[in-house]
Structure 1
Amino acid sequence: MRKVFLSLLTILSFQFTSAQQNSFIKFPAGSVPDETGKRLAYHFVDGRHELYAGRYIHYAEVCTWNGALDYAVKTKDQKLIKLLQDKFEPFFTREKPLLPPMNHVDYNMFGSVAFKLYQITKDERYKKIGLAYADSQWELPDNAKPEEKSWADKGYSWQTRLWIDDMYMITVVQNEAYKVTGDRKYIDRAAKEMVLYLDRLQRPNGLFYHAPDVPYIWARGAGWMAVGMPDLLRDLPKDHKDRPRIMEGYLAMMKSLKEFQRPDGMWNQLIDQADFWPETSGTAMFTYAFIIGVQQGWLDAATYAPAARKAWLAMVSHIDERNNVTEVCIGTGKKNDKQYYHDRPRNAGDLHGQAPYLWCAAALLGK
């Protein structure tokens, strides 16, 4: 009887695994992750830099660069890797003035792309740049404000500001520094920050306001948390003291996101507002979080794999003939005004949207 039960369990397990794999591997023509990622990655290579006020590389470009590199590595596209290296090379010479200053979470995350290039090439120049950005995030400047000094005295980054965006901007560069150096101080920093933000900002339903004084659940803002948590959890040592708290926060968010997913697979600009428009960058970030959770075994595949698949198919329909993602909310600061979020302009090709689409394409190609 026991043998019969075990055989049945094996068959059911195989059928379940196959169904899960089909959700993430078998896509109709026009929505295959490999092809979609290639379109978006090569489009990025050909694009001009996106700058803050015409001066420094914008974090959205860094996010897209990271996605293009992840895709290139997954597909072993050596041509693309070389093109992405060539795009970075001028930063060592004539484009060096475009490097962001090391004084803000949005600027410091530039180090993450340098770390990714180091992991591919082992060129020490990339590592040097990456470490400068990672370390300066914890090195209190001489002209620090009292609030910044207060955060530093408690062991947090002096750049802490309790905006949910930070849980990608801070954690990505610290996590990549950990992967490059093996020094646990970097991932300890990222985990400590993540727990602070979870304790201060997560709502009872698992979602997040844009900021403590802005009670609106903005899709892309929440998306930074949705991406930051699984990316950190993948590399966080299993015995790390902060792992249970971060996993708790991640699972609570995923459960709530599943409940607010639209029938067409998308999520709205304000997640919990049915009369708001479906927004692509937030949708892509939530989809990525689902994909990673299923692949890592943290999320129930029977529930979340079909949800991720539905979202991906909806997302691909929002890529136009020029390989631009449409319906992307432009860069948005916090504001305690619901209509403000409703009326935000939508850009085609905005790198806030191109980036998480690339993350999803790379993730769908496997662990």
Structure 2
Amino acid sequence: MSQSVLTNFPQGYTPEEVGNRLAYRFMEKYKMSDRKGIGYSDTFNWSGALKYAAVAKDERLLKLLQNKFDSLFTIKKQILPKKTHVDWNMFGSLALEFYRVTKEKRYLELGLSYADTQWELPENAKAKEREWDANGYSWQTRLWIDDMYMITIVQTQAYRMTGDRKYIERAAKEMVLYLDELQRPNGLFYHAPDVPYYWGRGNGWMAAGMTELLQYLPKDNKDRPRILKGYRKMMKSLKKYQTSDGMWNQLIDHPDCWAETSGSAMFTFAFITGVKQGWLKVSEYGPAARKAWMALVPYINEKNDVREVCVGTNKKNSKQYYYDRPRHIGDYHGQAPYLWCAVALLEQ
């Protein structure tokens, strides 16, 4: 079986159609005049739309996205995220994506300021932050699974745009720490060490983070074999827990829990990329990736908003808590990974 399993989609399911719908939905919905700040879900939806514009060669969309961003250099400068938290520093990945697409140096400078401060210990750092820093890790380390997207995406982007290996080596070292501390024997990740539940989107952050990092991690990096092993172990488990419909549930290993779109889309992105990069066997994972994509698309409603997206969720040691989480429509946590999937399907 060849990678053609990830092409030839029926009308309504092509990555071009889905990417176009969701990227332009972001453009119309995201109003800078209303913003008092920029959250991480805003950042990666914006970035997904930008990546789609680039791969689709949609100059009009690119210009619209760029014009929106450029107000952050002028009248909306005050809403730029502070460089004091893992969820805020990842904003640098968007600025660096603008640099990749436009080659305008102001985006590079802005993006690197977020990548660099993730490893620059602030004067008022807490004792634990100083300890992480002393051991060569980001002072923003928390051992929350979300971090393995937030930290790795900005450091990986900084490496891609500069060629300076310190950035990608930081990200790889950090990823190994999280894998060693948090990955369970079955390949999945608890929401937290004291919360023994395999929450969908939490695991999605790890899956997407490893996928992004492995795409650009040099073959001779000493941590690459360990990260690839952790990635494959996770993918094997995810394949096992994919439902007959092609989705994954809010609690991955609970068959009676509801199908959740944001985590499912992140896992689909990891499958698509793994097949295309040769990390996963096409014969095993190609059909699973296609099945997932075909299952995801019908969750987009007529307004181009994704349904069944779990709201932002803090940890809680209660199974019922995860079953009862509110489900949003059009939440950027769901819109963004659909765009990642569309881009991954379109990339050569």
TM tier, smaller: over 0.9
Distance 1:35 1:143 in 2: 49
Show the counterpart of 2:192: 211
**Structure 1: gaps spanning 5 or more residues:** 1-15
Show the counterpart of 1:278: 259
How is 1:273-312 mapped onto 2 (pairs within 5 angstroms)?
273-312=254-293
Show the counterpart of 1:62: 43
Distance 1:48 1:243 in 2: 37
1:54 CA displacement: 6.4
Distance 2:32 2:137 in 1: 30
Q: Identical aligned pairs, as a percentage? A: 64
3-state SS of 1:262 partner: coil
Q: TM-score, normalised by structure 1?
A: 0.93
| Equivalent in 32, 35, 39 of residue 14 of structure 2 | 32
Amino acid at match of 2:248: W
1:254 CA displacement: 0.2
Asked whether 1:149 is paired with 2:130, we answer yes
Asked whether 1:220 is paired with 2:201, we answer yes
3-state SS of 2:168 partner: helix
Amino acid at match of 1:244: P
How is 1:98-247 mapped onto 2 (pairs within 5 angstroms)?
98-247=79-228
3-state SS of 2:192 partner: coil
Contact 1:49 / 1:57 at 8 angstroms: preserved in 2?
Answer: no
Amino acid at match of 1:293: G
- Superposed structure 1 runs of 4+ greater than 2 Å apart: 48-51
Asked whether 1:42 is paired with 2:27, we answer no
1:73 CA displacement: 1.1
Contact 2:305 / 2:335 at 8 angstroms: preserved in 1?
Answer: yes
3-state SS of 1:278 partner: coil
Asked whether 1:90 is paired with 2:71, we answer yes
- The structure whose Rg is larger is 1
Contact 1:59 / 1:106 at 8 angstroms: preserved in 2?
Answer: yes
1:47 CA displacement: 1.4
Asked whether 1:355 is paired with 2:327, we answer no
Q: TM-score, normalised by structure 2?
A: 0.98
3-state SS of 2:29 partner: coil
Give the alignment's Cα RMSD to 1 decimal.
1.3
Show the counterpart of 1:269: 250
Deviations 1:288-346 (A, max 9, x none): 00000000011010111111111111100100000000000011111111111111101
1:55 CA displacement: 3.5
Amino acid at match of 1:366: E
Taking a change above 3 Å as real, the CA distance of residues 341 and 313 of structure 1, as seen in their structure-2 partners, is same
1:173 CA displacement: 0.3
1:366 CA displacement: 2.6
Amino acid at match of 2:204: G
Amino acid at match of 2:111: G
Show the counterpart of 1:364: 345
Distance 1:338 1:124 in 2: 48
Amino acid at match of 1:282: G
Contact 1:50 / 1:58 at 8 angstroms: preserved in 2?
Answer: no
Distance 1:203 1:54 in 2: 39
Distance 2:32 2:150 in 1: 17
Contact 1:290 / 1:304 at 8 angstroms: preserved in 2?
Answer: yes
**Structure 2: gaps spanning 5 or more residues:** none
3-state SS of 1:203 partner: coil
Show the counterpart of 1:323: 304
Distance 2:169 2:19 in 1: 32
3-state SS of 2:299 partner: coil
Contact 2:32 / 2:68 at 8 angstroms: preserved in 1?
Answer: no
Show the counterpart of 1:81: 62
Show the counterpart of 2:229: 248
1:214 CA displacement: 1.2
